[in-house]
Structures are given as C-alpha cells and as structure tokens.
Chains A and B, each alone.
Chain A
Amino acid sequence: MKREEVARRLINVMARELGKKPDQIKNEHHFAHDLEADSLKSIELVAAFEEEFDIEVNEEDALKVQTVGGAVDFFDKLLK
C-alpha cells in the first residue's frame, strides 16, 4: 500500500473518531494538543486503526506516536 493511501485512510479514521472533517487534520497536528485526543481517546484511535487495516499493532509502540505524521510513518512502515 502506498504511503498516500495509508495517510488518506488514517486521516479518514481520525476524522470519524474525533468528529472532525478530514481536511481539518494536518500532518503536523499533535493528537493531544491540536486534536483533543487524550490518552483514553488514543486507545480508541489505535483500535480504530487496527480495524481499518485489519492488523494488530504493538500498543505500547503505537501509543508513543504523538502526531498525525508520526502515525502515518508508523503504519506505513508496519504495512510494508
């Protein structure tokens, strides 16, 4: 899967889970600071990403990711 496709699907999931429009979510956005995704919301996001790509991720590593761009990098690497 291409990186752009990974990014598009991740942002769609984030938009759905965080109640935002996809174009409101930017690569540089910090989950906690900019997207109001606290630690509890982050767990839900990880669950949603897992379902989107039908994979199970190492949760402790996934929760270390703090930005939208970081999430794209994380899943892009994983899906390759």
Chain B
Amino acid sequence: MGTLRKLSQNEIDILTGNGCTAENWKLIKVSSGFDANRIIFTRFSGEVIIGSNSGSVNIDGLVQPCGLYRAAVADTSIGNNVFISNIGSYIRNYTIGDNVIIEDVSVLTAEKGAQFGEGVQINVLNETGGRNVTLFKDLNAQTAYLQALYRHDEAFQEKLKKLIINYIEGKSSDRGKIAEGARIRSCGIIKNVNVGPCADLLGALELNNGTILSCPEHPTVIGSGVIIKDFIVSEGTDIEGGVILDHVFIGQACQLRKQLSAENSLFFSNSEGFHSEVCSVFAGPYSVTHHKSTLLIACMLSFFNGGSGTNQSNHMYKLGPVHQGIFERGCKTGSYAYLMMECHVPAFCAVIGKHMSNIDIPDFPFSFLVETEGKSNLMPGINLFSIGTVRDDEKWPQRDRRRAVQKRDLIIFDVFSPYTIEKMRRGRAVLQELYEKTPREENRVYYRGVQIKRLLLKKGIKYYTMAIDRYLIGRLMAEIEKAMPAAKSWTDVTRNIKTGTQIDNPERWTDVGGLLALSERVNTLMRDVVSERISCIDELIDELKRIHDSYRGDEWAYVCFAFEQEYGSSPVQISPENMSDIIKKWENAAVSLNALILENTKSEFADIARISYGIDLDSESKENDFMAVRGEFQTNPVIIKLMREKEQIRLRAEKFEMLLE
C-alpha cells in the first residue's frame, strides 16, 4: 500500500462535508492516491487504513468509482482500489485486499480470537464423534482419512493432532481477511470468515466461522440463499441455490447446489451435491448425489454416484447413531437403494434394492448387489462388463475440474489397479472355495450378509480371472513395448525390463481417500509421524505426495509379484514359449471382456430401449424418433471405440507373436 499518512485538515473537512464521522480522525491513515471526495456517509471507529481509491470498478457493466459509500468501518485496513457501499451494520476487524468489492452486506465482522473454521471438529462416519476430523486450511482427502480411519493407532493420532494444532496456531490471526479481487455483494451476516483471492460471494444469507479458499485461476463462488457455519471451502468450489451447510469441509472444484443440506461432512474434490441430505459423510473425491429424497449418512464414499431415494440407517435404537458404512470407490446405488449399517460394499459395486443384512464383502469388486425377494444377492464380477465401468475409467480424469495451481487431493484414478486386482484375486479364492464345498443340490450359498447363486460362483471365478489376466499381462506387455526399441533379441527384451522394487507385502494396498497406496508406505508414514521424523503438516503432505508419485513404480512391483504367483514365472525371466501362451491368455481375456462389454452396450439399442419413443406415431416414425434422439448402434462413439479396441487387441497380440518368433 506504500507509505501511510494521517488525514490533512482539508481532507477531514471534505469527509465531514460528505456526512462522514469518526471517533478519532487521528486514527485514520491513508496512502497516496487517497481521494477524500470518494468517501461518503461513512462512520469510522478505531484504527482504519485506506489505500488509493482513485480507480474504478466494473459491477455488472456499470463503472463505479472506488471509495466508501454508506458504510461503518471499524479497526479495518482497506487496500487499493476498493469499492465498499451500503453496509447495513458495519465492517469490523478486517484486512481488505486490493481491488475488492463489498456492496450491500449486512455485517462483515471478525471477533477477537476467531478461528475462521480451523479447529472445527467434523464427526464423520460416527455421528457421536468417534472419528472426528479437525479442520485446517490444508486439509485434503488424505490427511482427513488418516484422522478418521486410523483410530487404532493412538500414538499416531496423538502426534497427528499435535501437528494440526501447531499448524493452526502457527498460521492463525484473529483479524479477518478479504483477499485481493474478492467480490462480496448482496450478502447477509458474514462473521469470522476469511475470504480468498477473487472469491465471488453473491447473495449468501449467512457465513459464520469459516475460510473460503480461492485463487485467480479458479475463483470460489458462494451464491444466493446459502448458509454455511463452521467450515472451510476450497478453491474453485461453487455453492449456491439455498444450500445449508453446518460443520463441513468442501474440497476443490465441488459443486453444491439446489438446496442440498449437509452437516458434519467432508466433500473432497470434484464432488457434487444437489437436493440431497448429507450427514456425517466422508465424501471422497468425485462423490455425487443429485436427487431429492437421497440421504447419505454415516458412510465413506469416493467416486460414488447415489441414485434417487438412496438411504442408509445408522441408528438401530440401541446405543445411538454409532453405526457406519464403507462404500469403496466407484460404487453406484440405484433408485431407493437402502443399506443397513454396518456395511462394507466392495469397489465398483452397483447396489440395487433394499438390503437389510449387514453386508461385509470388500473382496468382491465389480459386482452387482441386488435385492431379490428381500434377500441380498451378490453377482460377483458382473460389473466388469458394464459400459458404465468402462466409462468410469475414462471420465474421471477428464472431469477433473480443478484449475488451482495446487491440487490438494492426491488422486490415483485407475479403475484396474493393484488395489482392485488383488481384491479380485482374494475374491476369486473365496468363490473357488465356496464352489468346491457347495453340493450341486444347493441353489445358493450364504457369505457375510449376502447370498450367491451357486451357478454364479463359477462365473465370478471366470470373470475375475479374465480381468486379472488382462491387467497383469497387459501391464507386462506395456513394459515389453517400452523395452522393445532398444532390444535385438528376447534376452535383450527381458534384460531391459526393470525388476519391481523390493517391497514388503507388495500385495497389500489401501485406498487413502482416493490415493491408492501400498499399505507399507502408509505404515511408514505413520511411524514417521510418531517418531517425529515428520514434524509438521507441510512435511506430512510432502510425504503423501511422494507416495502418490511412487504409484507407478509400486504398481510394477505388485505386477511382478502377482504375475509370478499367477503364471509361475517372473516377468523378467519368462521364456518366449511361456510368453506365447501368456499372450494368448491375454488376448482371450481382453477379447472376451471387450465382447461382453459390447454385448452389454447393445442392450441400450435393443427393442426394450425403444419403448416410449415415437409417442402416437406409426412404427416407422417410432424408429425414426429413436434414431433422432439416441442414434444408431453402429455410429455410436462408444460402440465405435469398443470395436476399434477389439481390433487393437488382435493387432497387439499379433505384434507380440511376431516378436516371439
């Protein structure tokens, strides 16, 4: 702001003439470029600093001179080129950055000792607080996960808490801040709220005890009718349309609209919430609920899509609302899907119907969980050839809306990863055991809250094997393709393939709020927190970034380990003869999965899909109506892509066969 000076007598005279008053004019300081003529009907209390106000701002196409108009300002510093107008009550105890607009705001005040949302406790999963997460500005899905899910390790929790407290105390100031370029217009009470650069607050009813992180690359928007209490909202998020939030963390690039209400919940990056009610939910990245009458309660989600009327119950009228549920990444619920807590739903599972048993089946990813006549039926592996799962693999990275330079949540998007593949290997072993011990007369087997049709045990084994083959061999083929250009012989190829890093338990993986990681790396991180080798939050986040960056190497270590178990030979020692058989296995698996996906997609164009098209029309017109709206099977981009993939699979297999010859 440059050098500050006191007001001249001439300036005081102008201000007084403009209807301004001050408790003590001597406590008002201004910088060069200050124009007293641009301060009208303003009441000053305490120490106030005013920067240059010679510029102008553009509000909805109207150019307005910077300055203070009809406002009461106490103990506040105002930057350069700020426009403040029509403040219903007062602005108190704030530092306002350059180029800020504050117009038609009831109250903007920060109290001594304000925390601006930091330190707020969010009771996720367990409404009564057994898994509370402490808010701080740099919270991300991973640091929240470590707080909420690893409660078994008391020493770690104690040290982690200390890191968070030190972080909050080290960076806190009890003066509010409206950062440069922020716009606050037509808002109600704003109390103890920090507002980040370029944030746009338009029509919010009440904001209390929070921080709105924002940046020029991705401004945060808080819109009409919004009430938020005890919160942190991250960069690029858009909250509008009467949303009511209490005790929440909202990550980057989220969209909360259309009267969503949420309490004691965390939403991480790219999540979307419309209409629904959310309570004590850890909504990891890409959690989506769009419908009225959907209640998400006491559960952990990520890459989730909740159907209309989805709900869960966490209160069995015994010891209170203490029950919890885990939906692993990629789950979808159909309309009116219900789950009774506790439950553990596997990754990429489609849940249909009402499930009244305690389901605990984390090792059956890519399944359908379907209620039939009041019973929960598991169809293992069926979701592997749903076109929806294929789309998931492509859509999430493409739909990453985050534009902030610092992407807070660390995300590994892979649908097929050591995490899901190892689960399928474990699930397949269970299915095999169940198949072997179930007599043919038995129609169903019961397993951890679900029943599985005996006939589908064998199918599940087959589908999981196909997915495992496609992944493990496909990854090896990718390594060979990398090694091929420099190789003159098969020996050269295998020599050029890197051996996997030596890691304890390469098969043990975990999903830390969207970050797929070797359990061993997470355990090491936790030990480092306990031993204080990690001594601050910044170091903790840096270590999490290192885990994120080591994913591809760790994945290869897993592939080497699992490949040897599956095919009896290490990828780096495999003979051309063995490789030829293995390539055939891959080709069969990849072609079959591709064909099953294609077949599944065909149903989108089958006769049943045409019902309701061409209302009141003859059959030819009905057909034309369907074509006009949905297009043709042969020209559908997804179908074309699947057909091309089929050809690519064959070409790739042929290329390898030639290499082996």
Contact = CB atoms under 8 A, between A and B. Distances in A.
B606 A47 contact: no
B608 A63 contact: no
A40 B456 CA distance: 11
B607 A43 contact: no
Select the residue from B379, B453, B596, B599 with max chain A CB neighbours within 10 A.
B599
A33 B607 CA distance: 9
B455 A47 contact: yes
Contacts of B453: 44, 47
A27 interface: no
Interface size class of chain B, counting residues whose CB lies under 8 Å from the partner chain:
20 to 34
A33 B609 CA distance: 12
B382 A43 contact: yes
Interface string A31-64: 0110000011001100110010000000110011
B596 A40 contact: no
B459 A40 contact: no
Given A32-B608, A47-B458, A63 B596 contact: yes
Nearest to B598: A60
A59 B455 contact: no
A18 to B, nearest CB: 13
B569 interface: no
Contacts of A64: 599
A59 B382 CA distance: 13
B575 interface: no
A40 B368 contact: yes
Contacts of B598: 60
Interface string A60-73: 10011000000000
A60 B599 CA distance: 7
Select the residue from A43, A44, A63 with max chain B CB neighbours within 10 A.
A43
Given A47-B455, A59-B596, A60-B592, A39 B368 contact: no
A42 B608 CA distance: 15
Contacts of A47: 453, 455-456, 458-459
Contacts of A39: 600, 603
B608 A43 contact: no
B455 A60 contact: no
Contacts of B608: 32-33
B607 to A, nearest CB: 7
A59 B458 CA distance: 13
Contacts of A32: 606-608
A70 to B, nearest CB: 14
A59 B606 CA distance: 18
Contacts of B368: 40
B160 to A, nearest CB: 45
B370 interface: yes
Interface in B427-478: 440, 453, 455-456, 458-459
Given A59-B596, A60-B592, A40 B379 contact: yes
B574 interface: no
A40 B599 contact: no
Nearest to B455: A47
Contacts of A63: 596, 599
B595 interface: yes
A60 B453 CA distance: 21
Contacts of A51: 440, 455
Contacts of B456: 43-44, 47
20 contacts: A32-B606, A33-B607, A39-B600, A40-B368, A43-B379, A43-B382, A43-B459, A44-B455, A47-B453, A47-B455, A47-B456, A47-B458, A47-B459, A48-B455, A51-B455, A59-B596, A60-B595, A60-B599, A63-B596, A63-B599
Interface of B: 368, 370, 379, 382, 440, 453, 455-456, 458-459, 592, 595-596, 598-600, 603, 606-608
Given A32-B607, A40-B379, A43-B459, 7 more contacts: A44-B456, A47-B453, A47-B455, A47-B458, A48-B455, A60-B599, A63-B599
9 nearest CB pairs, A to B? A60-B595, A47-B455, A63-B599, A47-B459, A60-B599, A48-B455, A60-B596, A39-B603, A32-B608
